[in-house]
Amino acid sequence: MSQRNDLAEYLLRLGDSALVTGQRLCEWCGRAPALEEELALMNVGLDLIGQARGWYDYAAELLDDGRNADALAFKREERDFRNLLIVEQPNGDYAITTLKLFFYDAWHLPTLEQLSESSDERIAGVAGKALKEARYHFKRSSEWVIRLGDGTDESHRRISDAVDRLWRYTIEMVNIDPLEQELAKTGLAADPAFVAEQWQARVAKVFEEATLKLPEPAVPFYLNGRQGLHTEHLGQLLAEMQFLPRAYPDATW
Amino acid sequence: MAEWTLFEVFVRSKHGLNHKHVGSVHAADAEMALENARDLYTRRNEGVSIWVVPSAAITATASDEKEPFFDPSEDKIYRHASFYQLPKEVDQM
């Protein structure tokens, strides 16, 4: 594959993780535990959907096959999605929602830090803007993990259960993907080794403050979001997200 | 969320020098109150600084004290700086 295709693939990974996280957060609309939390979740979700648009626009230009950002978001199948497995997991209770977001934010932030210095100006531009948003997202989700972990007996139990349930998917934040490693060598993509190191350090620090036990590093298993091998939950999410543009192509309002 | 604390929110706008009361939020702690206030009251580029204060920490005048508190100033027009002759150079005040 050419570098152009590799870069488009990488942009889809960034866009898909942001879009799927945004879609999951928007599922809380009308159901959040407090009005204030609802607004906060929608803010974060919409930030991420906006970022996804930035990545898709550029991916569409590189792919140059007639598809635009909307087509990439709404007309691709489950196997074509390249998002991290963690972000497609169901929201569960507030501890699971919080922890999913925290694991993603702790990966997203160092990724954007690197991308904001990408040798590709377009990437550096999108990342530079997104970075400010991601700093706030990380701060907010870290504080929630600490609040729940170091809170009441019940909140501690719930977030500990969330760690048990989600930890296996964190392998994707720390493994070294060959395509990303190649792109990082040319200064285009984030260096996966740097991101992994940052992710581990950030998670360890917050877990300590949250009085949470840090599990042994996760190990690879048979699924891999970057290769389109997803858990069963992504298909259901896409069915809901893509229903309208597929049922009513080119609908406007 | 019955046990969350109510905080009053003060925002300083880009062009303002002082923080102005804009409303209130519920939050479990002050840090969360700041973030909730950011998400509720500065969504449209309104602010450069936020203060939050637990509502319970505010001491307010009581409505039945309104007359002794505020009425006596009604007829003291000499407290307004409206009796000075302004020099010509000072066009507007």
- ipTM here: 0.72
A45 neighbourhood in chain B, CB within 8 Å: none
Residue at A121 is within a domain: yes
Residue at A71 is within a domain: yes
Residue at A211 is within a domain: yes
Per residue of chain A (253 residues), give pLDDT as tens. Answer: 588 999 999 999 999 999 999 999 999 999 998 899 999 999 999 999 999 999 999 999 999 999 999 999 999 999 999 999 999 999 999 999 999 999 999 999 999 999 999 999 999 999 999 999 999 999 999 999 999 999 999 999 999 999 999 999 999 999 999 999 999 999 999 999 999 999 999 999 999 999 999 999 999 999 999 999 999 999 999 999 999 999 998 788 7
Distances A171 to A84, A175, A230, B13, B83 between C-alpha atoms, Å:
10, 6, 14, 44, 77
> Residue A218 sits in a domain of what CATH number?
1.20.1260.10
Tokens describing residue A131: 């970075």
Residue at A252 is within a domain: no
Question: Do B26 and A39 count as a contact with CB atoms less than 8 A apart?
Answer: no
Q: How far is B24 from chain A (nearest CA, A)?
A: 10
Q: Which residues of A touch B (CB under 8 A)?
A: 33-37, 39-40, 43, 136, 139-140, 143, 147
Contact of B51 with chain A, judged by CB distance below 8 Å, is answered with no
Q: Could you tell me if A62 and A7 are in contact, meaning their C-beta atoms sit under 8 angstroms apart?
A: yes
Residue at A21 is within a domain: yes
Burial environment of residue A143 by CB neighbours within 10 A (0 to 12, 13 to 18, 19 or more): buried
- Evaluate if residue B1 carries a pLDDT over 70: no
How many domains, in total, are found in chain A? 1
Backbone φ and ψ for B32, nearest 5 degrees, come out as -65, -35
Pairwise CA distance, residues A173 & B67, whole Å: 65
Q: Which contiguous run of DSSP H or E holds residue A103?
A: helix A94-115
| Amino acid symbol at A187 | G
Residue at A13 is within a domain: yes
- Per the structure, the complete domain to which residue A227 belongs is given by 3-247
Interhelix angle for A3-26 vs A233-247, to 10°?
A: 90
Residue at A209 is within a domain: yes
For residue A229, the 8-state DSSP code is B
pLDDT of A78 reads: 97
Tokens describing residue A25: 């957060």
Residue at A253 is within a domain: no
Question: Do B27 and A33 count as a contact with CB atoms less than 8 A apart?
Answer: no
Q: Which contiguous run of DSSP H or E holds residue B49?
A: strand B47-54
Q: Who among B26, B29, B31 is closest to A36 (CB)? A: B26
Q: Could you tell me if B53 and B18 are in contact, meaning their C-beta atoms sit under 8 angstroms apart?
A: no
pLDDT of A1 reads: 54
